[in-house]
Every structure is written in C-alpha cells, then in structure tokens.
Amino acid sequence: MKYETLVHILDAICQEAPEGSKRYKPDENDVEKMNQARARAFIHLYLKVKFGLSDFSDRERTITDASEDGGIDAYHIDSETKVVYLIQSKFRTNEKNFEDKEISLNELLAMEIDRIMRGEETGENGVPYNGKIKQLQRDISSIDDIARYNYKIVILANLESVPPNKIRQLCGGYSAEVFNYQKAYQALVLPVLTGTYFTANDIMIPVDLSSKNAGSKISYNVKTKNCDCEITVLFVPVIEIAKIMDKYRNAILKYNPRSYLDLEGKSVNSSIKSTLLERDTNEFALFNNGITMLSDETYINERIGQKNKAQLQVKNPQIINGGQTSFTLSRIYHADKVAAEKDLANKEVLLKVITLLGNDSQENKLQLIDEISNATNKQTPVINADRFSNESFHITIQQMVFENFGLLYERKRGEFSDGIRDGYLSESEVVERNHFWRLYYTANGRIARGFQKRLFQQNEFSGIDPNDKNSFKNLYMAIQVFGAIKGRYRRDQKIPREEYAKVYLYVRIHGEESALDAESIEANMRVVNTAFKLFFSWIESQEGNIAGRRTSVNRKTGEKRVTFSQERYFKGPTFEKDFTEWLTANRALLDSSAREVA
C-alpha cells in the first residue's frame, strides 16, 4: 500500500509538468515510458521535500539525468547551508524490487564527480557532457565563496550491503547519504502527504515603518516558571505571512493543535478571506486577533538602507496561534500569486513573536508552549482532542502504522488536506482518528469500547503498546473489511453496530490467512454472515441470564414474554467470551463453510 501511495504521488507530480510534456505525460499504455516518467518524478519528490522546491520548473532545471550525465542524476546548491548536493537515483518499478533490490556498485563508480568539479568538458569516454552537467559546472563556478561549500552525495536507492565507510570511498571520498526504501517512505512520502516536508530555519519578514509612530515594535521580557521569554509585538504585511505559510505549510505548525483546515464550511476562514479580498482598506488589522509565533532567536533591524523599512528575522519559527489566519492567507496566495500581491498590498496583521530564552530543558519549553497554546487559541475553540494530537504516543502510532501497513492515521484534524489538495491521495485513504480507534478496539475484541464515538477525546490509551504489531495488524485488516462493508451503505446512513461485530468475527475467523482484495473480502464475508446467524441462534437458545435478553410480563394476562436484542447484547460484557467459546466448538463447521464458498 505504501508503494502504491508513492506511485500515486509520482503520477501527480508528472501532471505538474507543462502541457504537452511527453517525457512526463506519455501514453498510459506505454509501460516503459511511464516507468521512466515516474523515475524522474522520484527525483522531483526528493527535491520538493528536502529543499522546498514547490515549482516544477525550478526542480526540472536541476535534473541532469540523461545520456552523458557523468553518473549524476540531479543537483541542488543550498546557499544557506553551503552544501552542493549531487544526486544518484535508482527507482524500481514494482514494490518488491523497490524494497529489496540494491543499486549496483558500478553505478556508484560511474559518478565522475571529481572530473566534473574540475571543469572537464568531456567524460572519461571522451564524449562531451550533456548540457545540464555543463549548467551545473557554470552554477558552481558562479558562486563567489565556493571555497566555503561542502559536497554531499545523495543516493536514492537501497544500499544495505555496503558499510558507510566503503560508500564514502565509492563516492570519491565525499560524504554520502543513502535514502533506502524505508527512508523514502518515512522522510519523503509521509511528509509530502501531511505538508510537513520543509522545515523553516530562518525567515525574513520586511516591515513597513511609514505608518508606525513609535517605531517598528514593542518588546517585553517575561519570566515564567518554565523559562524566560522575550515578547516582540509588531504589525507585518499579510502578503509575507502568506508566502511563508505557502512555502513551509504544516512544517511551521508543529506545535499548533490543528493543521490545515479547508476553507469550505469553515465560517472563520471564510470571514478572514472576505475581509481581505472584499475591501481595499486595512480593516483586517482591526478585526483579526493576530498570529502568535515561537522563535529561538529574534532580531529586527531598522537600518537596512531603505527609508521607512525594517527587517524582522526569526529563527526556527512555529505558529501556535493564528493558524487559520495564516492558512487562509496561504490559500489566497497559492491560488493566484499575481492577484494576491495586488489584493493583499498595504494590509497588515498583528504578529506576536515569543522568543524562548536560555538553556532550559526541552520538557519545560514544551510545557510552556502547551500553556500558551491553550490560552491563546480562542478565536476558534480548540477541543481537548486537538491538544492530545501532538502527544508522542500519537506521533509514534502514526509513524508505526504508516511504516508497517501504509495506513494514514489522521491524529491532527486536516493534516492530510495538503496531500489531498495536491492530488497525492484521496480523502478515502485517510483514517479519521476516532474511526481509527473504534476499529482498533473492535478488531481486538473490545467491541463495547469500539462502539464509543469520541475515543480520541477521552485519550485513555495507557494500556496500548505501540510495539504490539499483531494488534495493529488486526486493525489493518479491520479497516479493509469495514471499508468493504461501508460501501454497501449510503453516505448519510448510520452503520449498525452489528457490522462492527462482523468485523471482529472476520478478524477472528480468517486472521492472518486472509487476502484483502475486494473479491476475497466478499467471499469471506459470506462465511462471516453464516457464522453470525449460527452464533446468535446458539446464544438465543442458551438458558439463564443472557446479556441482551429481557423478560416482560403482560399486566392484564400475566403472560411472560422473552425478547432478545442484538444491540443490547453487544453492549454487554460477554460477547468476546461467548464467541470464543462458540468458535472453538464450531471451527470445523466454519472451515467447511469456507471451503464451500471457495
């Protein structure tokens, strides 16, 4: 499933190419050309995630993969970190090869890095390098302080059989980083789906001083029980916040209790948008509560050689309040950058930057961040479930279920909306957090708890071991089976509790042996439905005090009437015990039914 998600992302990246691009948009029936397009898109994915290159043409410019490329498939020059990245990529066209097959040592030895960096115009075979490699040479030669730069080789392929020191030797003595299949899934696929792929280190925000009588800012030092802080308050251009949010997306909302929330149906977001776009004046500065941003270091310079201008510098910024404001600004900017420059001109928003000072413990800082978030998120109420979403337990679960099963666990509301909007996945692939836990408990036999609706908000997961792969394997099966069951109901229909019980029966009866394609699930469900009927016939025939059974007396006639409700029975405590007992006694009968279905 993870590989299928990766391929879907690569196909979406190919669609970002200009119209008529046969390299990225070949005939779908031409398997070889499709594979070549995806292989090139895989490099695009790396450049987008690691360096925040959101524009297709910017990435395509630095992809050198072609004949006479000197073994270099792409490059990136990072002027901030002073590193030249040289990329060698080997994409595999099926899941097994992508996860098992390694890049050959000959392909690494084919990288003519020293020769290219020395400015040689031809390869060792005497044939001139292609135009993109010559462009790489020109780009490097134009760097004034190239002596301060380091070189790093990036290998987008599996290379488990070679130790790191040998990899360095194979790469001509240069530092090398290997992105094997596991790292590709965790560091490329999942981040691009959640919009958390490009971390902001330092941001610069220009400030207009022309209408500010008391200077550009107000600063105030605050001592708290957790750590010392400096608060800087100033008005900044909304267009700059829009650009920052569009570039860094959810990566700048790490400590915010919510991720992106779509505009449609969100009254606060719609109100923000209308205030900005329907007025030429700056009422937005009055109406909006502003943005609160965390920073490790904050500087403001009013002497930048421009009249009535200043510059704000923020290190490692994180927005903890005003995420909806920032999000809406980014959507306006992303939809039409030229129009946004005009529509958002001369409009400002209040920015409060909280700089965390000193060398206090990370735990103290996180506690203070949580308290600030709780106190400041008032414009749209933040429910407790949103606050729990950033706990390490949920982060661990999210990473584990994706790594092992390809599941997309939505711990933060709206965190996958970026991937959905970009066409990298569909909404149906995301598992909403309450639904996730209802099926977890159902699949593992705690049916009554699985019936509860707000499990995430209760945040009572102390008994769950994230390392218990079997319980999450049951969950994975339950999600696939429930998806097939749900398809038989209209979107507006409530799913009866008995369907959750059938999911549990499915997991108990079929277990690890079951294939999870649509045809297999349909066939196996026939066995489950048979078991469901037989089991309840047995339960109703039992004597004594059975959960779900009620006896009523007609007051006039004195006649006793016994009724049995499956709904009441599911609420009782004995379903799992009863079913296990029945299943043990009737396993041969069910196996016979399964063979008949097959």
Rounded CA-CA distance 347/349 in Å is 7
Sheet containing strand 218-223, strands side by side: 218-223, 228-237, 348-356, 291-295, 318-321
Strands 228-237, 348-356: pairing kind: antiparallel
What is the pLDDT at residue 548?
Answer: 83
User: Tell me: the pLDDT tens digits for 215-273?
Assistant: 667 888 888 877 788 999 999 999 999 999 888 888 888 887 666 555 444 556 667 77
pTM of the model: 0.80
By the 10 Å C-beta count (0-12 exposed, 13-18 middle, 19+ buried), 131 is classed as exposed
Would you say residue 323 has pLDDT above 90? no
* Between residues 501 and 266, the one the model is more confident about: 501
User: Tell me: the pLDDT tens digits for 512-571?
Assistant: 667 888 888 888 888 888 888 888 888 888 887 788 888 888 888 888 888 888 878 877
Q: Which of 125, 156, 207, 127 is nearest to 43 (CA)?
A: 156
Would you say residue 212 has pLDDT above 80? no
Rounded CA-CA distance 397/394 in Å is 5
Chain mean pLDDT for the chain:
86
- For 64-68, 159-163, 298-302, 305-309, which range has the lowest pLDDT when averaged over its residues? 305-309
* Between residues 405 and 514, the one the model is more confident about: 405
Would you say residue 455 has pLDDT above 70? yes
Q: Which of 33, 45, 103, 105 is nearest to 74 (CA)?
A: 45
HEC string of 323-343 equals HHHHHHHHHHHHHCHHHHHHH
What is the pLDDT at residue 263?
Answer: 47
Q: Are 313 and 203 in contact (CB under 8 A)?
A: yes
Would you say residue 302 has pLDDT above 80? no
Could you give the percent of the chain with pLDDT greater than 70? Answer: 92
**Collapsed DSSP state (helix, strand, coil) of residue 80:** coil
455: phi then psi, degrees, rounded to nearest 5: -65, -40
What is the pLDDT at residue 379?
Answer: 47
Q: Are 437 and 445 in contact (CB under 8 A)?
A: no
- For 117-121, 190-194, 439-443, 493-497, which range has the lowest pLDDT when averaged over its residues? 493-497
Helix (H) or strand (E) segment spanning residue 301: strand 297-301
Distances (CA, A) of 313 to 4, 228, 355, 366, 404: 41, 20, 12, 22, 40
Rounded CA-CA distance 179/197 in Å is 15
Q: Are 525 and 484 in contact (CB under 8 A)?
A: yes
* Between residues 95 and 278, the one the model is more confident about: 95
Q: Is the dihedral of CA 245, 246, 249, 252 positive or negative?
A: negative
What is the pLDDT at residue 383?
Answer: 62
Question: Which residue's entry shows tokens 């006694």?
Answer: 585
Question: Which residue's entry shows tokens 């780009």?
Answer: 139
Would you say residue 433 has pLDDT above 50? yes
List the domains of the chain with CATH numbers.
Answer: 2-194 (3.40.91), 202-388 (no CATH), 398-598 (no CATH)
210: phi then psi, degrees, rounded to nearest 5: -65, -30
Burial 554-569 (b: 16+ CB within 10 A, else e): eeeeeeeeeeeebeeb
